[in-house]
Structures are given as C-alpha cells and as structure tokens.
C-alpha cells in the first residue's frame, strides 16, 4: 500500500465526515425543538449518577418529570439540601427538603455471633441462599452475608467486614435505597440520619430460641420498654421497636440495660466483645 492510498483514504473519509456533519448541523438548526430550558438547569443540579433511586430511568428523565410536575423535587434521594433548594429556585417553589436517609443494617449476627446450622455450598448470592433453606445461619432473619447489597451500591458506601456483615459508611451513603431493595431478608432499612438508637435485630423468635441462634438477638425481655417513657418503645411479635415519633431524635436511653446488646446507638457499640461464642 503506497502513501497515496493512505492520503486518499484519509482525505475521502474526512471529507465525507465533514460533509455529513455540516449537513447534520444544518438540519439540527432547521429541526430544532425548543425544550424547556429548566430541564437542562435542573439536570445540572442533579448528581448525574443515573442510579435510578428516584424510580425513573435516569437523571435526565427525572428532570423532565419534575418540570412536568409529576415528581416531587425531593424525589431524588441522592441530592443534598443545597441541590434541592437550587431546583426549587429554578422552578420557583419552596422545597420541604426531607431529611437525608441513611441505610442501616438491622442485624448484628455476623459469622462470630450467630450459630451455623449447615455449610451452604450453593451459589454465592443472598437471593439464592434465601431460596435454598435461608443460608447457613441458624437465625432465619439474619444477614446472609453474600454482600448483594455491597454489589448493588453504586456509591462505594458499603463493604463486607471480616465478620461477614456489610458495613455502611455514613458519609458516603446517599440514601438511594438500592441496598434495601436487593436484600432478600429485608434487614436493611432506610432511616433519617438523626435517628441514632436502633434495635439491631429482626428476630421474631421467643427468648429461648433467639438466644440459641445468636448472641446479639433481641430476646424480647422487655427491659428497654420498661426503662423508657410510656409509648416510646414497645414489644411487638417478640421484638422491641422504637417509636421514633414519640421517642424523638436524641439517643438518651441507657443502652447498657439491654442484655444482648441488640439495642445500640450508632457509633457507640456498647458490647464490644461478646463473652462467649455460641455453639449450635
């Protein structure tokens, strides 16, 4: 192949490309469709991660429906207060910006804390394990530990700890809710950032059974309920529940009253080292 062919090839293809692009740009002018300029502006305020947390196929579509008035301004769970205010300004409305939500894992039953009922050798997925006998842990409500939530997280806000439980990084969590969606056990919940006190357990078994399967299970002893004002907490189906509406936001309860340590304040683990390992 001589150099002439090369030059001709480059020139002809370049020429064709130029010709077509010129034609297209002319056509673009002729067929220009006026779009609401606010869509573009709102799109600039959105995170642009296209995570789908809002329920629409991407940030662009969300911007479109917000302008059309079909979606709430704070419908994007990822955007921060600032962005919501900016969007509100673009649309000329006040935003009641909902509080930032953070994913919380409602289980402390890692490999160490829970007893095992069997070795699970099926496909390494939470969903698979949930279909097939509910994984290897004795507690049927526990985290299955295959990290489907970590894989679902598009913001690198989660990782699997050595103990086999997902850890959520508060400062990176955007509250999109993807992890809660994929969890077959439904033990990841979305909570407002200010909620600090949680019952980190979903076990509905009675005291005897709960005790047997996990050292950090709620054994429904009711100590916590007796130690707070009426209505702030209650027992329901063998599980203590915090009524945040009445309880308020402050984590004021002395959590060391809880014998198993399932009631805890975020960031302040009360029971650091479990006394003994449970045997199945």
Return residues touching other proteins (CB under 8 A): 5, 8-9, 12-13, 16-17, 20-21, 23-24, 27-28, 31-33
Nearest 5°: phi and psi at 50?
Answer: 50, 45
Residue closer to other proteins by CB (options 29, 226) is: 29
Residue closer to other proteins by CB (options 35, 80) is: 35
Nearest-approach distance from CB 4 to other proteins, in angstroms: 9
Sequence-distant (≥ 6) Cβ neighbours of residue 271 within 8 angstroms: 216, 260, 261, 264
Residue closer to other proteins by CB (options 66, 165) is: 66
Nearest-approach distance from CB 69 to other proteins, in angstroms: 17
Nearest-approach distance from CB 127 to other proteins, in angstroms: 21
Between CA 164 and CA 172, with CA 167 as vertex, the angle to 5 degrees is: 155
- Let me know: does 111 contact 204? Beta carbons within 8 Å: no
Residue closer to other proteins by CB (options 34, 272) is: 34
Residue closer to other proteins by CB (options 12, 161) is: 12
Sequence-distant (≥ 6) Cβ neighbours of residue 222 within 8 angstroms: 235, 240
Nearest-approach distance from CB 261 to other proteins, in angstroms: 49
Nearest-approach distance from CB 177 to other proteins, in angstroms: 26
Sequence-distant (≥ 6) Cβ neighbours of residue 68 within 8 angstroms: none
Structure tokens at 175: 């509250």
């Amino acid at each position: 192949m001589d150099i002439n062919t090369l030059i001709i090839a480059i020139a002809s293809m370049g020429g064709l490309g130029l010709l077509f692009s010129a034609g297209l740009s002319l056509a673009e002018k002729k067929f220009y469709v006026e779009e609401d300029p606010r869509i573009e502006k709102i799109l600039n305020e959105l995170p642009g991660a296209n995570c789908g947390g809002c329920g629409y196929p991407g940030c662009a579509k969300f911007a479109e429906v917000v302008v059309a008035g079909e979606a709430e301004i704070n419908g994007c769970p990822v955007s921060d207060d600032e962005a919501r205010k900016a969007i509100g300004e673009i649309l000329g409305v006040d935003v009641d910006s909902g509080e930032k939500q953070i994913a919380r894992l409602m289980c402390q039953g890692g490999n160490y804390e829970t007893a095992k009922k069997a070795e699970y050798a099926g496909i390494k997925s939470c969903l698979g394990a949930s279909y097939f006998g509910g994984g290897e842990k004795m507690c049927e409500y526990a985290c299955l530990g295959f990290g489907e939530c970590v894989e679902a997280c598009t913001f690198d806000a989660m990782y699997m700890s050595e103990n086999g439980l997902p850890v959520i990084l508060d400062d990176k969590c955007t509250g999109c809710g993807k992890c809660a969606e994929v969890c077959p056990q439904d033990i990841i919940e979305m909570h407002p950032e200010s909620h600090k006190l949680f019952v980190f357990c979903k076990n509905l078994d009675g005291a005897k059974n709960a005790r047997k399967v996990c050292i950090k299970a709620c054994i429904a002893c009711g100590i916590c309920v007796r130690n707070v004002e009426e209505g702030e907490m209650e027992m329901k189906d063998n599980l203590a529940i915090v009524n945040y509406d009445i309880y308020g936001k402050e984590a004021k309860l002395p959590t060391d009253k809880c014998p198993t340590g399932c009631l805890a304040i975020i960031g302040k683990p009360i029971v650091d080292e479990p006394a003994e390992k449970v045997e199945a």
